[in-house]
Structure 1
Amino acid sequence: MALELGRRLVHASGAVVPGAYLLDEHVLRVGVVTWRVVQAVAVVGLVVTAVLEAARLSGALEHPIYDRLTREYEQEKVAGYALYVLSATAVVLAFEPTVAVPALFMLTLGDPVSGMLSTGELRTVKRPRVLGGMFLVSLALAYPFVGAAAAVAGAAGAT
């Protein structure tokens, strides 16, 4: 359970970058964390992730954190965190903040909630309460940015 909580917290920490962008853009208005900065951070993060993951898979890098935060089935495959960083970077580069920020929040915050609702079980098809929880959290995260119709579509896609 503690390991899964650690995985969820690492996952949720990804909300810091889009959160910092929103804080700067809409509250502080100092222009330090611009969308270009977010894109640059994402690209640098992707490069670092690719190097670390290549080293991990080749056996050149063995660190206890990988043993704790990767699942057994990820030991010989690309780990979920690398796919997470890849998809987040693609979204940041392909979309404007109005779409990208809620998408990132759905990934970084909605997915860990879904994981907590699933009680750690790995299933091909998630239980209805897990799907419903993911949908509602994603809807709540998207609605302030894109309105009802787009939020429902985004939440359905995230679920």
Structure 2
Amino acid sequence: MSLPGAAWRERVEFERRLVHAGGTLYAVPYLLGWISWQQTGYLLLVGLAIVAILEALRLRGAAGPLDPLYDALVREYEADGIAGYALYQVSMTAVALALAPTLAIPAMWMLSLGDPISGMLGDNGPTEPKRATVWVVMGLVCTAIAAAFTVPAFGTTVGVAVAIAGGTAAAVADGSPPIIRGVAVDDNLTIPPAAGVAMVAVLALLG
């Protein structure tokens, strides 16, 4: 009896990570030259409005046909509060609106791509720090994502320094969530802003 349950949990986790990675597509129309970065921000705002409506319906028990989807994708500790997917949309939108694409896109992809990789390697609880190995892998993955944008934009020395700052901040936000009144702040909310602030700070410092 345990095998089907384990297989079901594995499938659900895969689906959650697939949805997580889907946020990578937000930046693709801009990168392909189809829309401007300002229009990308508008797209994310529309997505945020839709998510806000859906989350309000879920919390009121009025999601209707979406209930089976929420039952599968929303974790137990999120059932009575704002779910991770909504916080994900908030942080993605905030970074896209606040930063230029050279810094915003890697900060967003650190969440959409780096976090699922980290999740596959770690099995910690929501209030527990992740293992050192996970921190290192998350940091390296996020630094590589950032470097693909920052090195061409700012040169090797500054670009690498900015990328390392962003990757390190993302790893810290992912690996050791701040605890407020006994509740861990979801890394869906913290990874992009932490990475973005760190990259902006180092870029300002190095000119």
How far the C-alpha of 1:140 sits from its partner, in A, is: 0.8
Q: Which residue is equivalent to 1:2?
A: 11
Q: Which residue is equivalent to 1:19?
A: 28
- Tell which has more relative contact order, 1 or 2 (C-alpha 8 A, sep 6+): 1
SS at the partner of 1:125?
Answer: coil
Rg comparison, structure with higher value: 2
Q: Which residue is equivalent to 1:36?
A: 38
Aligned counterpart in structure 1 of residue 92 of structure 2, from 88, 95, 103: 88
TM-score (norm 1): 0.91
How far the C-alpha of 1:21 sits from its partner, in A, is: 1.6
Aligned counterpart in structure 2 of residue 154 of structure 1, from 152, 155, 166: 166
SS at the partner of 2:32?
Answer: helix
Q: Which residue is equivalent to 2:155?
A: none
> Identity across aligned pairs (percent)?
48
Q: Which residue is equivalent to 2:153?
A: none
Following the alignment from structure 2 to structure 1, what is the Cα–Cα distance between the partners of residues 29 and 144?
19
Q: Which residue is equivalent to 1:124?
A: 128
How far the C-alpha of 1:20 sits from its partner, in A, is: 2.7
| More displaced stretch, 75-84 vs 15-24 | 15-24
How far the C-alpha of 1:157 sits from its partner, in A, is: 0.8
Q: Which residue is equivalent to 2:48?
A: 46
Q: Which residue is equivalent to 2:115?
A: 111
Following the alignment from structure 1 to structure 2, what is the Cα–Cα distance between the partners of residues 17 and 33?
11
Q: Which residue is equivalent to 2:61?
A: 59
Following the alignment from structure 2 to structure 1, what is the Cα–Cα distance between the partners of residues 29 and 120?
25
How far the C-alpha of 1:19 sits from its partner, in A, is: 2.5
Following the alignment from structure 2 to structure 1, what is the Cα–Cα distance between the partners of residues 56 and 30?
30
Q: Which runs of 4 or more aligned residues in structure 1 lie more than 4 Å from their structure 2 counterparts after TM superposition?
A: none
Q: Which residue is equivalent to 1:29?
A: none
Any conservation in 1 of the 2:92–2:108 contact (CA below 8 Å)?
Answer: yes
Following the alignment from structure 1 to structure 2, what is the Cα–Cα distance between the partners of residues 157 and 19?
24
Structure 2: gaps (5+ residues): 1-9, 151-158, 172-207
**Counterpart amino acid of 1:8?**
R
TM-score (norm 2): 0.71
Give CA deviations for 1:54-84 in whole Å, capped at 9, x if unaligned: 1100111142110111111011110000000
Give the superposed CA RMSD.
1.1
Structure 1: gaps (5+ residues): 25-31
How far the C-alpha of 1:139 sits from its partner, in A, is: 0.6
Give CA deviations for 1:38-57 in whole Å, capped at 9, x if unaligned: 11110000000001001100
